[in-house]
Structure 1
Amino acid sequence: MKTLTIMQVLPELHSGGVERGTLEIAQALVTAGHRSIVISAGGRLVRQLESEGSEHLALPVHRKSLRALWQVYKLRKVFIEIKPDIVHVRSRLPAWLCKLAIKTLPRHQRPKVVSTVHGLYSVNGYSKVMAQADAVVAVSKTVTAYIQENYPDCFGPHCELIYRGIDPASFPWGFQPSDSWLQTWNSQFPALAGKTLLCLPGRITRLKGHREFVQLIDRLQRAGRDVIGLIVGDPDPRRLGYFQEIKALVSSLELDSAIVFVGHRADIREIYAISNIIFSLSTKPESFGRTVLEPLAMGRPVIGYDHGGVGEILSALFPQGKVPRLDDAALFEKTQTLLSTPQTPNPENPFLLAAMKQQTLDLYQRLASAD
């Protein structure tokens, strides 16, 4: 098996599914004896990336402006010096910058390009670049259909379905938090002790369904349910106005003691474990839905809108949790039902991290070996 140099390129390394997937593949490459390099503008995950054996090159490949074109020259220089076998692009702007840089190289020096379509991007020429790589990875059947429908001239055998996955050891079935964790949690949030907890994880952005979640908590409270809504995640620093809108809605409904904003947490597994129900209420279809898969793998019930990757995961593991998109009545009734009669997900999880890693490394080998 050939030893490879793989270069992954993405905007930043702060948090999120794209970033986590990048680190997972980087770690798999290092474990398999390959050279793993990541190019990004940096972020909180750089330290972990490097501690796990990968290299990081800091370039501002995240700024959508004409200045970004300066990075084409820098990327070209990097490609000439390092000679990667594969360049794996994970976002549109980096994909364009890499495409322009590679185009200037002599044909025999050009690395193969893999793209992963992590999202259901707006359909236009700018987004099409994600479907024009030597191999295109779709993270779900939803994404496969999106590519086939919107870029049929790009769809073909080079488009490969590789589901995202999780490590069962990280989110074990039936997991319970330690006594020390519970003690710390109860000291931080004493008002939550003994309460019914409903959890909405994910960054606080307009499409994630926070308004619908707050309104659900309000309706449940008025129906006599003593529930607390946990909103787990940071607000988007570029859209703090929306965060203020949600906080104003909470105050207007007099839910200040019933909605708790806990911010970004590294202990999301423990929070899943103490939550009665976890929710996924993105108003726009998600390409996958890791925050749905994680609690389901632990045996925790999840309620989510039946569309996109979330619908795929729920169909496989917990169809009882599916509700039509933006159907407030169905969401309320489903929540009432699962609170009154708790149900358990299917323990046979097909979405495994090990499979995702192996399929991706196999793809790299096939491409690097092709003429």
Structure 2
Amino acid sequence: MRILQALPALYSGGVERGTVEFAADLVKRGHKSYVVSKGGPMAEQLRGQGSEHIFMPIHRKNPASFGQILPMRKLLLELKPDIIHVRSRMPAWIIFLALKTIPANQRPAVVSTFHGMYSVTPYSAIMTRADHIIAVSGCVRDYVLNKYPVPEEKLTVIQRGVDVSAFRQRELSPQWLDRWFRQYPQLAQKKIVMMPGRISRWKGQLDFLAMMAQLVQKRPDCHGIIVGGAEPGKEQFLEELEKERARLNLTDKVSFLGQRNDMTTLYLLADVVCHMSTKPEPFGRTVTEALASGTPVAAFDRGGAAETLRACFSDGLVPPDNIEAFAQTALALLDNPRPEIDIPWRFQLEAQTETTLQVYENLLARRPAHQ
């Protein structure tokens, strides 16, 4: 099959990483993989893995983006993809408007993925106009069915898969550890409690600091690390976090590491990984990645993150917004030997690829032009 994925850009988020991993899997299976976006650091990785990246500024949520309709039409007529997989709303609008100008018997099938619980607006509704819809978790599926007139048979839940072997079949290298402890000598001989995720109020870093204040009273050998950068416009919140850290007397107990490109190693290093979003997340990729590394995870019992924990490691579930219970759960995970964690097939990258390809094949089988 010739498959074109469309998304705004290729930076470091979960949608981007998932797109690049899926594209690499498509190439391995002999399919022709294209990705259209405004580019970014991950475009090089994409090309290195055998996909073709097409630069097109389809990311801006303003009328100027509609200037990309004719270039998109030209691209679709050139590539003749069998499937277009749209992963974001603005690219979806540009693609659907471009397809309207192409004869119906020449149009590819369109699949959309709801990566989040988008606001219910005509702008978001474009994602429901695809021939088939994928939801990244059960809670996203329920949201779509409750908010839009979408028939159940048009929607499939496909969990975001991780390559378990890439996370688990690894060891901490002595060279990496040497560099790490030279950079962060305060972490030597400490139990590492990690909070991954970009610096954003709803990601729960304030709750993490409150939890760490309770945890270090019982386990003074703990050190918290907050891993993730502050996006443009969020620098003020980072300053607020630093002030709160000082107020709670945690300056020597919690470190801000900023954006890192060695997350797979940090998951292995951590003794516990925390997920504390203040509202339901559609999926919670860091939960699956940490568990794939064999590291226990504590998370509030809501949203897609809880779905993953319920299936893989229910000991880490915490009643929503209960900081004291979270600290007790983290303490129990630190006190006990590292558990054996099994990742069910549906959360693995192979399952995501095969189930998505099945959606594609079912669509094409029903289209006269592809019989």
Assess same fold via TM > 0.5: yes
Alignment CA distance shift 1:65-1:81 (3 Å): same
User: What residue in structure 1 maps to residue 349 of structure 2?
Assistant: 353
AA of the residue aligned to 1:89: V
C-alpha displacement at 1:219, in angstroms?
2.3
Match for residue 317 of structure 1 among 312, 318, 322? 312
User: What residue in structure 1 maps to residue 7 of structure 2?
Assistant: 10
Q: How many pairs were matched up?
A: 366
Paired residue secondary structure (1:169): helix
Q: In the alignment, is the contact (CA less than 8 A) between 1:132 and 1:154 conserved in 2?
A: no
TM-score scaled by structure 2?
0.94
Paired residue secondary structure (1:170): helix
Q: In the alignment, is the contact (CA less than 8 A) between 1:85 and 1:112 conserved in 2?
A: yes
Task: Please show how residues 55-70 of structure 1 align to structure 2 within 5 Å.
Answer: 55-70=52-67
Q: In the alignment, is the contact (CA less than 8 A) between 1:24 and 1:357 conserved in 2?
A: no
2:162 aligned with 1:169, yes or no?
no
AA of the residue aligned to 2:185: P
Q: Distance in 2 between matches of 1:34 and 1:340?
A: 48
C-alpha displacement at 1:21, in angstroms?
1.3
2:339 aligned with 1:344, yes or no?
yes
Alignment CA distance shift 1:367-1:224 (3 Å): closer
**Deviation readout 1:241-279 (Å, 9 max, x if unpaired):** 222221222233332222211122222122122212100
Alignment CA distance shift 1:123-1:187 (3 Å): same
User: What residue in structure 1 maps to residue 322 of structure 2?
Assistant: 327
Q: Distance in 2 between matches of 1:345 and 1:148?
A: 36
Paired residue secondary structure (1:293): helix
Match for residue 306 of structure 1 among 301, 318, 321? 301
Q: Distance in 1 between matches of 2:164 and 2:218?
A: 37
Runs (4 or more) in structure 1 with deviation over 6 Å come to: none
Q: Distance in 1 between matches of 2:21 and 2:331?
A: 37
Q: Distance in 2 between matches of 1:60 and 1:13?
A: 12
User: What residue in structure 2 maps to residue 154 of structure 1?
Assistant: 150
2:81 aligned with 1:90, yes or no?
no
AA of the residue aligned to 1:369: A
Q: Gaps (5+ residues) in structure 1?
A: none
Alignment CA distance shift 1:348-1:97 (3 Å): closer
Q: In the alignment, is the contact (CA less than 8 A) between 1:83 and 1:111 conserved in 2?
A: yes
Match for residue 259 of structure 2 among 234, 259, 264? 264
C-alpha displacement at 1:128, in angstroms?
1.8
Q: Distance in 1 between matches of 2:249 and 2:41?
A: 36
Q: In the alignment, is the contact (CA less than 8 A) between 2:69 and 2:95 conserved in 1?
A: yes
Percent identity between matched residues is 42
More deviation in 267-276 or 48-57? 267-276
Q: In the alignment, is the contact (CA less than 8 A) between 1:200 and 1:230 conserved in 2?
A: yes
Q: In the alignment, is the contact (CA less than 8 A) between 2:2 and 2:81 conserved in 1?
A: yes
Q: Distance in 1 between matches of 2:52 and 2:250?
A: 47
2:129 aligned with 1:129, yes or no?
no
Q: In the alignment, is the contact (CA less than 8 A) between 2:211 and 2:324 conserved in 1?
A: no
Paired residue secondary structure (2:36): strand
C-alpha displacement at 1:308, in angstroms?
1.0
Paired residue secondary structure (1:191): helix
Task: Please show how residues 1-371 of structure 1 align to structure 2 within 5 Å.
Answer: 4-151=1-148, 153-172=149-168, 175-223=170-218, 225-342=220-337, 344-350=339-345, 351-371=347-367
Q: CA RMSD, aligned part only?
A: 1.7
Q: Which has the higher helix share?
A: 2
Alignment CA distance shift 1:119-1:345 (3 Å): farther
Paired residue secondary structure (1:57): strand
Q: Distance in 2 between matches of 1:273 and 1:95?
A: 37
Paired residue secondary structure (2:126): helix
